[in-house]
Structure 1
Amino acid sequence: MTSVVIAAYNEEAVIGRCLDALLADAPRGTLDVTVVANGCTDATAAVARERAGVRVLDLPVAGKAAALNAGDAVAVGFPRVYLDADVVLSPGALPALVAALDGPDGDPPLAVVPGRALDLRGRPAIVRAYYAINSRLPAFRHSLFGRGAIALSAAGRARFDAFPAMTADDLYLDGLFAPHEKREVAGASARVATPRRTGDLVRRLARVRAGNTALRAAAARGAVTTVAVRRPARSSWLRDVVLPRPWLAPAAACYVGVTLVAALRARRERRTGGGGWGRDESSREPTLASAESDG
């Protein structure tokens, strides 16, 4: 039986659609789903409990790693799927991920992910320009991060004991597997809600950068064990995206500008200890059809 673990922090606006898409993709009784609400001050747990067959844990303290570990402790089967609460899998995606891990070839992958389907409806021009470059970066085709959905076989899950207390859980998992052990599954996609405003995008990128930096530092001092924590290819946007497609040069200017601002923000918050959770709340707003004005 496939087990799905969803760590959810104040996700009442989005957890319902995440679960509905998931449950519609599997016959009743064939899927073990655990939602771990952690430190929530909204109705996340109540919304999840409305879905039949969903196990709900309600932890008093916020923390994604602790939530994932709590979900792992009660999950009953494999493959094991780790899914972000704001991600919606496409129809057929879950069976495709499971089938890829159970593949007929003699050396199936240990970790698989769906492709990214970026939701850019109503987003301002700068956000769309940023993702015009980001969506074409080859790193996302050969890695596990950036989807909010990762499926591991039993052998893949055996690579680690527990999630470390860090925010970059997807980069951590990516580093556990050699390139030939992980795969993007054709025909499966995860709808990823992009930030609605430029400021929200900068905050999201700063948070990701800070989490990745912390993970690399932990790996360097031996606090976490990985195969190799991927370092960013700083010129990939130019070499792999813009030079073959020169018409994307204006978008590249936005991409570089946003990336630099996010890097400066992350560095400043590292010095001051500020920034808090830094999560993009705009992509979790209930209505996705239109965006508010850019900010």
Structure 2
Amino acid sequence: MSSAPASDDVPGFVASVVVPAHDEERGIARSLGALLDGSGPFDVVVVCNGCTDRTADVARGFGPPVRVIEIEEASKSAAVRAGNAATDVFPRVHVDADVALSGADVARLLDALRQPGVLAVAPRRVVPRDGCSLVVRWYYDVWEQLPQVASGLFGRGAFALSRDAQERVSALPVVMSDDLAASDAFTDEERRVVDDATVTVWPPRTTADLLRRRVRVATGNAQARDAGVRREDSATSLSTLIDMARGRPSLLPRIGVFLAVTVLARLRARRLIRSGDFTTWQRDESSRA
């Protein structure tokens, strides 16, 4: 593992940002460019895990305060552990390399973390549909309106934790759906979605890539459930979709598409779940820059 100078070499950081990145040469500049808008100072640790492209070189090109660590294992969980070990600055912000969260929005998250009793926060997600297939657009039209999707910290590619919250999350079992596990580790009173902070999460553009992503989610959700780190109310129930259809009958065709994608993804995930394969990352390429 190649490392960068420890965070305490440069005092005065208001937060640390851990960015796991696997072959994100095309997107890491977009992510770091948004993050480094002068709103810091943040200790930014990019952990390149199992990269076979120029991700590390692109990240190093940003200079301080970005520090780059390289590990051989292609594993998001291993990358997060390495990033956490490389900084002692709190609050701790976790940002995926394929989303865009500005430094100003990080500052808004930190403000929310200062509220009494709040341990974990995440920004409001923005999911641009430009260039996406009809199936993808209709799927996300329903998905974004699900109550647990609206209130949970998962599916945003970014969240911020206090020191106590990070200790709680670090003690969780290692699961593929790490953002779901982190979200469900906190009560509704302890976690908060900060509406005036936004993160851009690019969805898959093609139906095939949407299915790949949803197979990964279905596999990870099953693992999280079996590990006891998923709350029952974070799962989508048929009654939730029925209530949505009753309240907005115009959504019925979209709900039909949502159900079809969900059922097909779960069927495809069964083989992975039965074999205990919770490491194969069903990655979509169409959402990347």
8 Å contact from structure 2 (residues 146, 236) kept in 1: no
Note the 1:275-290 alignment, pairs <5 A: 276-284=280-288, 286=289
Secondary structure at the counterpart of residue 51 of structure 1? coil
In structure 2, give the amino acid aligned to 1:114.
Answer: P
TM superposition score normalised by structure 1:
0.87
Offset of 1:164 from its aligned partner? 3.8
Q: Distance in 1 between matches of 2:23 and 2:210?
A: 19
Question: More displaced, 18-27 or 36-45?
Answer: 18-27
CA pair 25-136 structure 1, distance change in 2 beyond 3 A: farther
Q: Is the 8 A contact 2:158 2:199 kept in 1?
A: yes
| Cα drift, residue 163 of structure 1 | 6.0
CA distance in 1, matches of 2:26, 2:243: 37
Closer/same/farther in 2, CA of residues 229 and 82 from structure 1, 3 Å limit: farther
Deviation of 1:176 after TM superposition, in Å, equals 1.5
For 2:96, the equivalent position in structure 1 comes to 84
Matched positions, count? 274
- Cα distance change, pair 100–8 in 1 and its aligned pair in 2 (3 A): same
Q: Call closer, same or farther: CA 1:160–1:146 in 2, change over 3 Å.
A: closer
**Deviation at residue 144 of structure 1 after TM alignment:** 1.1
Deviation by residue 1:177-228 (Cα, 9 ceiling, x = unmatched): 1111000002111111100110110110010110111122122xxxxxx584
- Going from structure 1 to structure 2, the CA distance change for 1:227 and 1:282 (only over 3 Å counts) comes to closer
Q: Deviations over 1:134-162 (max 9, x none)?
A: 11111122211010101001121122445
Q: What does residue range 123-202 of structure 1 map to in structure 2 within 5 Å?
A: 123-162=132-171, 164-202=173-211
Q: Which of 248, 256, 259 pairs up with 2:251?
A: 248
CA distance in 2, matches of 1:91, 1:35: 15
Where in structure 1 do 4 or more consecutive aligned residues deviate above 4 Å?
Answer: 226-231, 272-275
Corresponding residue of 2:264: 261
Please give the alpha-carbon distance, in whole angstroms, between the structure 2 residues aligned to 1:207 and 1:23. Answer: 30
Q: Are the aligned partners of 2:28 and 2:59 in contact in 1 as well (CA < 8 Å)?
A: yes
Please list every run of 5 or more consecutive structure 2 residues that lacks an aligned counterpart in the other structure: 1-13
Aligned partner of 1:112 in structure 2 is 121
Q: 1:283 is paired with a residue of what secondary structure? A: coil
Deviation at 1:20, TM superposition (A): 0.7
**Is the CA contact 1:37–1:57 (under 8 Å) kept in the aligned structure 2?**
yes
Change in Cα spacing, 1:242 to 1:227, as seen in structure 2 (3 Å) is closer
Q: Which residue matches 1:11?
A: 24
**1:97 pairs with 2:109:** yes
Give the match's secondary structure for 1:179: coil
- Shift, 1:68, TM fit: 0.2
Identity %: 43
Determine the C-alpha separation between the residues in 2 that align with 1:147 and 1:262.
Answer: 20
Distance 1:255 1:25 in 2: 40
Q: Give, in whole Å, the separation in 2 of the partners of 1:203 and 1:126.
A: 14
For the residues of structure 2 that align with 1:93 and 1:34, how far apart are their CA atoms?
Answer: 18
1:208-258, CA deviations, whole angstroms, 9 ceiling, x for partnerless residues? Answer: 110111122122xxxxxx584655131255244322111111111111111
CA distance in 2, matches of 1:85, 1:73: 19
Matching residue's letter, 1:80: R
CA 1:161–1:257: 2 relative to 1, 3 Å: closer
Change (3 A) 1:166 1:136: same
- Note the C-alpha offset of 1:93: 1.1
Give secondary structure in 1 for the equivalent of 2:16.
strand
Q: 1:119 to 1:237 in 2, by over 3 A?
A: farther
> Per the alignment, do residues 151 and 213 of structure 1 end up closer, same or farther by CA in structure 2, a change over 3 Å counting?
same
- Please name the residue that 2:49 is paired with: 38
Post-superposition offset of 1:92: 2.7
Give per-residue Cα distances to partners, 1:99-138, cap 9 Å, x unaligned.
00013xxx24100000110021111111101011011111
1 CA distance for matches of 2:67 and 2:285? 25
Note if 1:65 corresponds to 2:77: yes
TM-score norm. by structure 2 comes to 0.89
Structure 2 match to 1:222: none
Partners of 1:168 and 1:184 in 2: CA distance? 19
Contact 1:172 1:229 in 2 (8 A): no
